[in-house]
Amino acid sequence: MDDIPLSQLFGALFVLILLSAFFSSSETGMMALNRYRLRHLVKDKHRGAMLANALLEKPDRLIGLILLGNNLVNILAASIATVIAVRLYGELGIALTPLILTPIILIFAETAPKTWAAVRPEKIAFPSAYILTPLLKVCYPVVFVISKISNGLIALFGINVHDQENAPMTREELRTVVREAGSMIPRRHQRMLLSILDLENETVDDIMVQRNDIVGIDLNDPPDEIIDQLARCQHARLVVYRENIDNITGMLHIRHALRILRDTTGFNVNELEKIVTEPYYVPEGTPLHIQLVNFQRLRKRNGLVVDEYGVIQGMVTLEDILEEIVGEFTTDLQTFNLYIHPQEDGSYIIDGTASIRDINRQLHWHLPVNGPKTLNGLILEHLEDIPETGTSLRIANYTVEITQAGDNAVKTARMSVLEKKNLELELG
């Protein structure tokens, strides 16, 4: 090298540093690729993605090729830098070479390229795949030997490089992906996707209409009352029973009852009983995603939730499950006015039988839903006793005053959100 001009040596050193930067950035870019997006691009026949995916299918050979090239150019760069330093500074240049070359390679051939590749992996990995693919074919014998030796050493620790972990994305990981999608997925669609994932964590007990709130027809009632109930009913399907809901006759579709209502010769309970259908029973604790499939498979739209003794606990409908995913189809003012009564001072008089989930949904509150399903049950759980009228308590960040109690239950309660200043005073 004594006959080679310094300008050519500096040029060769510059080229080697660029090659080192290429191998370093290629390694980081390949490993930082989003595998799910990569598969999507492969399906779309993206040439760079297809080449990168083929290289990543055998990561031991890809890493062996990159490290072979990287170490080779770094060694050559160190040798040329030493020659340059000796020709410029004599024997002192041998000591100066590591001090000068190390920060240059560290900054320009390692840190900067790898950082760029980590931030923009596709911009580095896909173009690099066009170079690495033919380079792997040229260097295949050397890379093959290196891979075999390294894989053998790894096997001593009980690791098989061919058993790549391609575990599917967990529900929590998918939830994180949806939340971090940002503007790529509209916020409403994000909520719907997250609601679908939450179906596995919720059961029919969480959304069912409570037993006491089930609307039905008692066949033992006077005919005039039954006709009036059918004429004024706002539900598409009703439970039909005798005396009490535990003695169910079946389910009635209001549309099928129109013929009976048009009969001017007189109302016959027996005719009504003939058009009811067999009720569909759902075990309590059934996850919503399973019940949704069951409704679809059995072509049902509602079911009666029963406990282990067969006692009816409530009723769940297909609409209730769909509303858990897409939100309420309409604003149910009747339900709001029936159970929740806004007051002038900003508080609410709420019926004890009101569902906690309905309260949270309509008032945008965050009452605990992991325990009791009704407001009455929530209050009794906190007090561990039957309260008297006038009893006050705090549940989470909400104040509760019992306004009416009787028959071993809370009839109504006045509730309001505890203001932030008052909450700080209590905690302080």
Mean pLDDT of the region 134-141: 92
SS3 282: strand
- H helices present in 35-91, as ranges: 35-43, 47-56, 59-89
The pLDDT value given to residue 392: 92
Residue 244, number of CB atoms within 10 A of its CB: 11
Task: Determine the Cα–Cα distance for residues 307 and 212; give it in Å rounded to an integer.
Answer: 15
Task: Kindly report, as residue ranges, where domains of CATH 3.30.465.10 are found in the chain.
Answer: 333-427
Q: CB-based contacts of 171: which residues, under 8 Å, 6+ apart?
A: 197, 200
**Residue of 218, 226, 223 lying closest to 243 (CA atoms):** 218
Residue 296's CB is within 10 A of a number of other CB atoms, namely 10
- pLDDT, residue 423, reads 46
Q: What pTM value is reported for the model?
A: 0.62
| Torsion over CA: 52, 58, 60, 62 (sign) | negative
DSSP 305-358: EE-TT--EEEEEEHHHHHHHHH--SS--HHHHHHHEEE-TTS-EEEETTSBHHH
Q: How many CB atoms lie within 10 A of CB 3?
A: 4
Task: State residue 265's pLDDT score.
Answer: 59
Q: 252 phi and psi, to 5 degrees?
A: -115, 125
Angle CA(412)–CA(414)–CA(415) in degrees, nearest 5? 125
Architecture of domain 333-427: 2-Layer Sandwich (3.30)
Compute the average pLDDT of residues 414-422.
76
Query: Side chain identity at 409, as an amino acid letter?
Result: A
Note the pLDDT of residue 198: 83
Confidence of residue 2 (pLDDT cuts 50, 70, 90): low
56 has a pLDDT exceeding 80: yes
Average pLDDT over residues 267-274: 79
8 Å CB contact between 388 and 336: no
> Can you give the pLDDT at residue 270?
81
Alpha helix (H) residue ranges in 108-155:
112-119, 121-138, 140-155
Asked whether the predicted pLDDT for residue 19 surpasses 70, the reply is yes
Element (H, E) at 224: helix 223-232
Lowest mean pLDDT of 115-119, 186-190, 307-311, name the range.
186-190
Across the range 290-313, mean pLDDT stands at 93
| Rounded distance between C-alpha atoms, residue 99 and residue 93, angstroms | 10
Whole-Å CA distances, 323 to 327, 335, 351, 361: 4, 15, 22, 11
Say what the pLDDT of residue 164 is.
55
With 50 as the cut, is the pLDDT of residue 343 above it?
yes
Mean pLDDT calculated for residue range 37-45: 90
**pLDDT for position 288:** 93
Is a pLDDT exceeding 90 seen at residue 49?
yes
Average pLDDT, the chain: 86
Residues of the chain with CATH 3.10.580.10: 200-299
> Would you place residue 337 in the very low, low, confident or very high pLDDT band (cuts 50, 70, 90)?
low
Among 118-122, 331-335, 347-351, the range scoring the smallest mean pLDDT is 331-335
- For residue 120, the model assigns a pLDDT of 94
- CATH code 3.40.50.970 for 200-299: no
3-class secondary-structure state, position 302: strand
Q: Tell me, what's the pLDDT at 425?
A: 46
